[in-house]
Structure 1
Amino acid sequence: MTATLSAPAPSTTRKGMLGLGLGNTLEWYDWMIFGLLSAFLGPKFFPSTEPLSATLNALAVFAVGFAVRPLGGVLLGTVADRMGRRRVTLLSVGLMALTTLIIAVTPTYESIGPWAGVILVVCRLLQGISTGIEAPLSTTYAVELNSAGREGRAAGYMSFFVNLGILLASLVSFATSWVVGGDTMQDWGWRIPFLIGAVMSVVVIYLRRALPETLHETERAENSSGAVWRGIGRNWLGLLAIVFVVGSVQAYNYAWNVGLPNLARSSFGEDPTKVFGLTTALGVVLLIGSPLTGMLADRAKLSRTFIVTRVLAVPSVFLMLLYREPGLLGFAAVLLGGSVVLALNMTLYNVVATSLMPKSSRATGVALGYGVAVALFGGTASYLMVWLQQQDITWMFPVYTAVLSVVSVVLYVAVRRRGGVFIGE
């Protein structure tokens, strides 16, 4: 008779959730550091005499990492559905740690020429594969570790640690710039935040080694690759909904966390230390909002909370049109004015995506939809936003993001009516 796994003990669950959470912190710290420091990385890794062009080069590399997320989701998600969740979470965080260390110590274009850019792109591709599975799998893992009816709290917990990583990225960038100064930050100080991320990985890998497995042996035996993909095929509308549920909020997220700060520094010449200070304040709002939103979702029902908060995102993204000229006051008003609605949406999108796939194909299906979404809509958002501003047609970006948000709600409702929502109802 095939053995099955018993339910994890409460202490094991708590330790497992901590390992999952801190892994998300590391992943998103490393991921956001690259975006936040793009204005510094561009001139160091690519030949250019004009700051905005160099920044666009770095943001293009930032977007390249998103392009391979679907590949990471498909390859590693299939492994997670067939062989278990634990080993894949260890692989993803180890890969992110290694590539972050390499970026920190890679010589600049001035020293090794085009190879500097090549190394940067390769590292970003590997980071894309890592994050292609990390966010969807960790939320799947968290939901499976917790009892039914606590999906919102699980989402809030994981989102808290994601936002902790984003906050730490801003905070470390701010502190480094404040301590070493703007000129030194441009010269070599940008390496310090990357080195800190590499050091953090040691603790995370240690904690993740103790994660319990949530995919039972019988489930693993039944989950051939063919069975996994047949499950995704039967739930194709759910997969399409995942793409827009994730993609719309990621366009909003990267506009606020990457696009606006880079616009402020490269186009409007704002003081980098003050910009990092304001992005840190944004991180605090996201951090506090995560557990509160999770508790609200469990009380008010996940589906209802998602629909209301996603509709609120439509007017919220138009706030960016208020930042049309240099001035930290305008930047702060836009960044923080849209922060509450961003926190509501960033907390719930992963658990909503998880609810749209059955357990047997959940890791692969959610990771595939997530990867396609961030490749199409998230990774291109900051570049598109800065480019549209350069063309003097900034108004197109909030229209684009608002349309994505409306489509996500329509598709989610359609899936619910077909009975394709598997948790949180």
Structure 2
Amino acid sequence: MGETLETPGRIEPCCLEVVSEEISGLVAMLAARSAKLGARLRPKTAAHLADLVRIVNCYYSNLIEGHDTNPRDIERALGGELAEEAGRRALQVEAAAHVQVQRAVDGMAAAGRLPEPASVDFVRWLHREFYRDVPPDMLHVGNGERPFEMEPGAFRTRPEHDVVVGRHVPPSSERVDDFMRHFESRYRFASMGPDTRIMAMAAAHHRLAYIHPFPDGNGRVARLMSHAMAHAAGVGACGLWPISRGLALGLSSHGEYGRMMDYADTPRQGALDGRGNLSLRALTEFSAWFLRVCVNQVTFMDALVDPDRLRERLRAYVERDERLRPEAGLILNEVLSTGEMVRGDTARVTGLTEQAAGDLLGTLTDDGILASDTTMGPVSFRFTVHVAEILLPGLLPQA
């Protein structure tokens, strides 16, 4: 590889030199719709829905990597219930690690402690946290002449770490650190305005994958970084939309993500195609596609959690379960309106006797749609995979 292409400038352009009307519109749309989504639900309800969104994000991120992990298995793994079969158990451990990293990112964002999402330290932290507790065989990389054990959080540094990804030859391992320092400087949010941050999400996603800083796990890290960037750019909507679902499904076909990432690898095509090593036209089209995917997912989730539509599905939820009295709908609507309900209010809300109201609430908690943080604490919604299949149609794959 030529010396010129082994300089960090190889990933330029990192940002769009001219912002098209289409991209300006997508940025404005994403900002507006994510703000609307973030305000749709009561904080307690939103927090528990975010728990489910992490499972959705994990499922689709793994699917992109060719690992079809059943959402129920992910949920079981988070509860400590692992399969006996080794391969299935390994996928559960991998999935649980993804969810836990995303939960940590969401927690930092909610507390206002999220670091620069494109910083070297944060990118390495994402990788280290993801791989920290996985089985040793998941750290084994390569089946050819030079297999090695990957160190969680460590960039490629040795010749045996050099890789080829499809048609793309990433920077050699000895130069990864220089490339990542350049990456950090070009995508530092502290120096960007709100709109620029949103646009940078797309470009940074591709350029991190282009550098391929780790021996393995780069796709997952890039998608987790993009999730963090959405928070830092002000479009995270309390963690209520799953970016990996959009990337996996695409806008018209499941293969779009790979094709668009490959297209963004295109070298500069002449004097009218920007001033960097890579094609500005390809980066612009990739950015527009990526932002359309984001808008698509935010719009989908906003329609899914529209309170009026949720109430209709809650009514259907009650009607389909012969164990539930019609008054169960009154309880569920009260929790939807207030975020949580004191147990002692059940009789008042339903008009039933204390005993009948308590029994009805017990059936709802046994079913898993309502729960409390303490034995006798207020109840709030819990969006288990079972509940989601009824209340949030289309969010998860068909069972």
TM over 0.5: no
> Relative contact order (C-alpha < 8 Å, sep 6+): which is higher?
1
TM-score by length of 2: 0.30
TM-score computed with the length of structure 1 as normaliser: 0.28
